[in-house]
Amino acid sequence: ELKVEQNPLFLSMQEGKNYTIYCNYSTTSDRLYWYRQDPGKSLESLFVLLSNGAVKQEGRLMASLDTKARLSTLHITAAVHDLSATYFCASKEGAGGTSYGKLTFGQGTILTVHP
Amino acid sequence: DTEVTQTPKHLVMGMTNKKSLKCEQHMGHRAMYWYKQKAKKPPELMFVYSYEKLSINESVPSRFSPECPNSSLLNLHLHALQPEDSALYLCASSLQTGRSEKLFFGSGTQLSVL
């Protein structure tokens, strides 16, 4: 069974600083998704990483995928208050798995950016 | 139109009530999903419909009954719920159920069971 783990679960940052959120998954997978969720709101898709070595950037966020290490990272550059939210990574089973659209989420990282 | 629309946004119901949650998308997606999310927890999959057929039921209690009347609509019928069923219920859709498909989520229905 696919398990997805994020760390840290809580992240308090100062504006202007850099930090990285880590996402490990337990079984073979080459599909990794990052979502953002504001309190009481739905999930907004940030990145879809579809192959080993994939790197995607949008504004102050950059995501990467290392399928050999079963690790994805979400790097935050020069944080601003608007980035405060919960960030989830999620994955689907890889080759040989029964995917059928089942997305398994990590626990989420609650990010708070302070002035 | 790149939206998944859910109604109602908030619902309060008693344990003997029957209610339905509705979800609609007009993106031509053929896969639709129900997720349940408790506060400060990740979403958990409940059901997956692919081409209007139920393809995954994650051992959800029968007091939750999904229905997919057509490719654009997904309902979740609720009956005899328990207080622990209070949660945010999220609908999502994707082009198909393939591993590369991105899910688009609706804004959710916040359900409170009294």
pLDDT for A45 equals 92
Give B9-63 pLDDT, tens digit per residue. Answer: 999 999 889 999 999 999 999 999 999 999 989 999 999 999 999 988 888 999 9
pLDDT for B98 equals 72
Beta-bridge partners for B93: B32, B104
- For chain A, the 3-state helix, strand and coil shares in percent, each to the nearest 5, are 5, 50, 45
Ramachandran assignment for B59, one of left (phi > 0), alpha (psi -120 to 50 degrees), beta (any other): left
pLDDT for A108 equals 97
* Residue A8: pLDDT over 90: yes
* Residue A50: pLDDT over 90: no
- Look at the block and give the residue holding tokens 């990272």: A73
Across chain B, mean pLDDT equals 92
Q: pLDDT grade, residue A51 (50/70/90)?
A: confident
Taking contacts as CB-CB distances below 8 angstroms, the residues of chain B near A40 are 88, 110
* Inter-chain touch A42–B105, beta carbons under 8 Å: yes
- Look at the block and give the residue holding tokens 């950059």: A62
Q: Span B72-87, mean pLDDT?
A: 96
Lowest mean pLDDT, pick from A24-33, A83-92, B5-14: A24-33
CB contact residues (below 8 A), chain B span 57-86, against chain A: none
pLDDT for A95 equals 52
* Residue B99: pLDDT over 90: no
Query: Nearest Cβ partner of A100 from B48, B108, B110?
Result: B48
* Inter-chain touch A102–B45, beta carbons under 8 Å: yes
